[in-house]
Amino acid sequence: MRALALALILATPLAVSTTSAHANPFGGYTTGIEITQQQMDTLEIGKTTQDNVREKFGAPGRREQLGDTQVWYYDYVKIKHFGKNV
């Protein structure tokens, strides 16, 4: 009985820490911002501003300066318990 109680106490923080808004009961999860090809098709090179992108997708997860160009990254990971990962 004491071992069972100890196991439950130790497992509770792990169960709480792995549960998020994107978790599912089968072990898969998603992180980041998913941007579909349809959403990308609405952006126009030379016309879409940084403000437009920020309004549509939110702030980028990370930024990198490449010479005079600033690159915004919107990382997205979808891990499925079964099937192909994205």
Sketch the domain layout of the chain as residue ranges: 22-86
- For 11-58, give the secondary structure using H, E and C: HHHHHHHCCCCCCCCCCCEEEECCCCHHHHHCCCCCCCCHHHHHHHHC
Residue range 6-21, pLDDT digits in tens: 343 444 444 444 434 4
**What pLDDT, in 10s, does the model give residues 27-44?**
678 899 999 999 999 999
Q: Report the Cα 27 to chain-centroid distance in Å.
A: 15
Q: Which of 20-24, 64-68, 74-78, 79-83 shows the highest mean pLDDT?
A: 64-68
Q: Which of 16, 41, 33, 47 is nearest to 78 (CA)?
A: 33
Model confidence at 25: pLDDT above 80 = no
The string of pLDDT tens digits covering residues 44-73 is: 999 999 999 999 999 999 999 999 999 999
Instruction: Please compute the mean of the pLDDT values over residues 70-84 and round it to a whole number.
Output: 85
